[in-house]
Structure formats: C-alpha cells, structure tokens
Structure 1
Amino acid sequence: MNEALSLLSQAQWRIIDQSGLGVHFDALQSFGMDDTLCNSVGSKTAPATARAWVHHQTVVLGIQDTKLPFLADGLKYLEEQGYHFIVRNSGGLAVVLDEGVLNLTLVFPEAEKGIDINRGYEAMWLLIKRMFADFPHEIEAREISASYCPGSYDLSINGKKFAGISQRRLRNGVAVQIYLCVTDSGAKRAELIKGFYDRATQGVQTKFKYPDINPEVMASLSELFGTQLSVSDVMLRFLKTIKETGGHIYSGQLTVEETPLFADYYQRVVERNEKMLQES
C-alpha cells in the first residue's frame, strides 16, 4: 500500500469537477477527456489531475459486448428502459451510469520505471477506503463474479459490489477510473444489465463468457452503510481525502493547449463508437 500511497501523494492535484453538468453531458465526452488528460499529464505539460463526472441514463458497453449474437435485441431493450448506450475505448463489459453513480478518474504521469497495473488499482482502492474510513465496514477488492463487469478489483462490502475500477494507458499517462454506486438500488441497476444480456444472448452458447448476473450481489453505498449519501456528499469526501494526501490541490479546467487535443480525441472516440456499433 506504500507504493499506492506515493501515487496519491502528488506535489499538486488539479481537480476537474464535471459531476454537475447534467443530462446533456455525454459519456463519449468523458472518454475523450480522459484520453486528453493522459496525453497532457503523460507529457508533463499538466499536473496530475483528478476528474469527477456523472452521466444520466447511460449504459457503457465494452468492446466484447458488441459481439453478442443478438445485440440489436439487447440494445432495443435498453432504449425501451429509457437508456442510451455507447461503446467505450477501454476494457471491461457493460456498466450502468446514472445520476446516482459518481465516476472518478485519477490521471498520473508514467514514471521512468513505469506504473505497475496493480499499483494503479491499489491507489484507487486506498483512496476509496480512506474516503469512507469513518464507517465500520471493511472494503474488499476481489472479483464479484455474479456482478456486471466483474474484475479482480471490484470493491465490495460483505460480498456486495458497489464499485468497479478500470485503467486506460496512453502516451505515458495512466488514467485509473472508478464508478461508485452512491444512491438508489444496486440490484435494480444489475437487473437492467441482466435483462440486456438475456435478450442479447437468448441462451445461445458464446465463445466469450458473459457474466451470469445475480442482482443480489450488487448494492449502493447508501444501502450498504444504511444512511442516505448523495453524490455531493461523496464528492466532498473525495476532495477532503485528496487534500489529506499532501500537496497542493486546485480547481481547474482544460488549458488552452489541451482544448484542441480534446477536440481531436473526442472526434476519435465518436468515430470509433459509431464504427463499433455499425460492425456489430
């Protein structure tokens, strides 16, 4: 954990808060943002950056999801439930984003020796444990196989998953991303993704093993802690914890140099998303 702590202990953190941009803030913009930040932080033209973001009624698919045998039926179901969908440019499988889910991205520069992939995951796990250290619950990092988008760094309490972590590496920058289910029903979100896979597979055997989702293994932090947390509450905990790691924190946006980079990366994300959905 010491190596993970050293990642969090940056000389300065720029904080980009996009958690309140509302319903018209599209998830593709977020993936363009993180690629932009990987570039600028990786080239050391910008400091380590932490970004917070919220998207409304969106299902983010993984590349593997586009190979489902009856994908069109699954996507139709999502639309009927009031969700739109995109395909992300990083690994993993389908996840739900809505106004009760806070997403955090930590962007670090690659050191000369490089940042081991587990070290990035451990840094995010440590951050989340510190954010909720006042609650008497152990936050574990292990795969919850019956959840949606299962991975070895699923965060859970008493076997119920509330968060998943992913990484994106680009141009000497490392973006560690997490979604935190803060409010409402974790099981209800899982039901949505279960319904998607049921319709997109229709019982057909596939080469790739998609998750067999049990909604009961997923919950929100509000449910797990037995107290009504809001995204704003968790955002304050995040800022306080980042500040406590040492170094200077300040609120910022994209710089003049980063703005054209974002336009380029966003266009790439949009084109890739369209291509993936057309080919499926």
Structure 2
Amino acid sequence: MNEAQQLLRQAQWRIIDQTGLGPQFGALQSFGIDDTLCASVGTGLAPATARAWVHHKTIVLGIQDTKLPHLKDGLQFLKEQGYSYIVRNSGGLAVVLDEGVLNLTLVLPEKDRGIEINRGYEAMFLLIKQMFADFSEAGHEIEAYEIAESYCPGSYDLSIAGKKFAGISQRRLKNGVAVQIYLCVTGSGAKRAEIIKDFYEKSKKGEQTKIKYPNINPNVMASLSELLGVNISVADCLLRFLKSIKEFGGQINSGQLTQQEIPLFSDYYDRVVERNHKMLTT
C-alpha cells in the first residue's frame, strides 16, 4: 500500500453532504467549515471527514488576484455576469463555481509524521481515479500535470486528453489538512474559462504585472460530461465519491458539524469574513 492509499484508508470517515443547500449557501461559509474541520480533526475532536459541496454562480479568487491593477473593473464585470465573488484562504488563483461543479474536501489529521504536500495531492488524485475507473478502462485516462493555459493552473490539474476538468488545493490548520478539489461535472468548461479570461483582461487592461497571471485558452478546459460523452450529473459523481471512499476501507458515517464544532465554526467563519473584506478593500 502506498502513502496516498494509507491516507484514504482511515479507520473511520465522517461524510458531510452539503450539495443540496442551494444558492443561499455561500462560499465563505464553506471555507469557514473547512477551517473548523481542520481544527477539530487535527486536534482529535472528530474523525477524518469528507465533505461534498456545491455553490451557485460564484467566482473564488486567490490572494494574488487581489493585486490586479484594475481589480474593481474586473469585479464589476463579474457582478454584471451575475456572479458573486470571494477571496479564498487556500492557494491558487480564480476559479468558477456553479451548480454544475462538485467540490470535495478531504480533512485528515497530520498526527506524528505529518502529511507532505504532494502526498495530500496524490491521495485526492488516487480517489478521483478510483471514482472514474470504469471510464479510464474505456480509454478516458485521467492525468495530473499543469495545464498552463487553464484558469488556476497547477501541477495537480486533472485532465483527460489534455483538457482540464479539475484542480486541487490544500489548507493546513491546527494539525489538520484539508485537500480540496473542484470537479467541473456538467456544462461548458470553455464558457467557464471565458468568464475568467474576460475577468483578467478587464482587471489588467494590458498592463505588465509582477505576478504572472494565466493567459487563458478556453479550449483547454472541459466538463466531465463533455469529456466522457455522457450526461453525468453532480449526484452521479457524489455517489461515485461515496462508493470510492468506502472501497478504501474503514467505517463510513453520515454527519454534520457536532455541538463542539458549531462554536468553532462561528469563530472561523467570522475570521474568514473579516479577512475576505480586508482583501477586497485594501
């Protein structure tokens, strides 16, 4: 068993399904929840936790995006397109979330040895490959390498035939590690990429910047439905996620935040909101 498999083979997994909470469920709440879970799992208050979540028409910006020279114009454009926006507290650059994008978080305890960064990425990559093993066997191989012309490019971009459908990030807090992924399940990956491409164009206006922002080519991004040639849904992917977690062993329990975690969430959510406000007003 390799190290990524060991991370997925937890004695117990708590599953928190927040895919059906609707448009009133905001992305800042999600990042507050993941910080809460990092703290509770990392300090032993809770077992390893897997969370699934969906947000409606939200652009999640990276910290570096707040340094764009004409950010206000870019944000105004997003508003005009009907998107809300936040700044996340994990790494990376701007991504699109909507009802066709499934987000998954694995929250793991670091324990004594710690979890090396690439090991966390490899665990999520292994889980996604397991989820879609039947399609891989049919020739739709999932690969992990940087798709430079995608939005939020990174070394663990997940793609099929050179087209990116997912990206992975990590958040570490209180001896807990949250490995997060967005999966573009339905809709047009190219249209999502067009939104971010236009955002950067309006936020840069051709100016040179110290930070390197992606030169986005919408043709290198697609949804799983487009890539696999089937009408796969977020609900289908959620079932594959639960089945795959179970196949790695351990006890599976459905749950929500505990009575101990609720006051933690209130505190972490307030911090996320305050930090987000500061990032967008300075």
TM-score (norm 1): 0.99
Q: Aligned residue for 2:3? A: 3
Q: Is residue 69 of structure 1 aligned with residue 72 of structure 2? A: no
Q: Is the 8 A contact 2:42 2:111 kept in 1?
A: no
Q: Aligned residue for 1:99? A: 99
* RMSD over equivalenced CA pairs, Å: 0.6
Query: What pairs up with 1:192-211 in 2 under 5 angstroms?
Result: 192-211=195-214
> What CA distance in whole angstroms lies between the structure 2 residues aligned with 1:144 and 1:209?
15
Q: Aligned residue for 2:121? A: 121
What SS does the aligned partner of 2:183 have? strand
Q: Aligned residue for 1:138? A: 141
* Cα displacement (A) at 1:167: 0.2
Q: Is residue 158 of structure 1 aligned with residue 161 of structure 2? A: yes
* Cα displacement (A) at 1:91: 1.1
> What CA distance in whole angstroms lies between the structure 2 residues aligned with 1:130 and 1:74?
38
Q: Is residue 181 of structure 1 aligned with residue 184 of structure 2? A: yes
Q: Aligned residue for 2:260? A: 257
> What CA distance in whole angstroms lies between the structure 2 residues aligned with 1:169 and 1:243?
25
> What CA distance in whole angstroms lies between the structure 1 residues aligned with 2:131 and 2:2?
17
> What CA distance in whole angstroms lies between the structure 1 residues aligned with 2:54 and 2:188?
17
Cα shift readout 1:158-215 (whole Å, capped 9, x = no counterpart): 1100000000000000000000000000000000000000000000000111000000
* Cα displacement (A) at 1:111: 2.4
Q: Is the 8 A contact 2:74 2:203 kept in 1?
A: yes
Q: Aligned residue for 2:50? A: 50
> What CA distance in whole angstroms lies between the structure 1 residues aligned with 2:227 and 2:91?
27
Q: Is residue 214 of structure 1 aligned with residue 187 of structure 2? A: no
What SS does the aligned partner of 1:85 have? strand
* Cα displacement (A) at 1:3: 0.6
What SS does the aligned partner of 1:209 have? coil
Q: Is residue 36 of structure 1 aligned with residue 36 of structure 2? A: yes
Q: Is the 8 A contact 2:66 2:280 kept in 1?
A: yes
Q: Is the 8 A contact 2:40 2:46 kept in 1?
A: yes
Runs of 4+ in 1 over 3 A off after TM superposition: none
Cα shift readout 1:244-271 (whole Å, capped 9, x = no counterpart): 1100001000110000000000000000
> What CA distance in whole angstroms lies between the structure 1 residues aligned with 2:78 and 2:45?
40
> Percent identity between the aligned chains?
77
Q: Is the 8 A contact 2:189 2:223 kept in 1?
A: yes
Gap regions ≥5 residues in structure 1: none
**Paired residues, what number?**
279
Q: Is the 8 A contact 2:15 2:49 kept in 1?
A: yes
- Letter of the aligned partner of 1:10 in structure 2? Q
- Letter of the aligned partner of 2:81 in structure 1? Q
Q: Is residue 27 of structure 1 aligned with residue 30 of structure 2? A: no
- Letter of the aligned partner of 2:200 in structure 1? Y
> What CA distance in whole angstroms lies between the structure 2 residues aligned with 1:10 and 1:114?
15
> What CA distance in whole angstroms lies between the structure 2 residues aligned with 1:8 and 1:198?
40
> What CA distance in whole angstroms lies between the structure 1 residues aligned with 2:200 and 2:30?
25
- Letter of the aligned partner of 2:274 in structure 1? E
- Letter of the aligned partner of 1:119 in structure 2? R
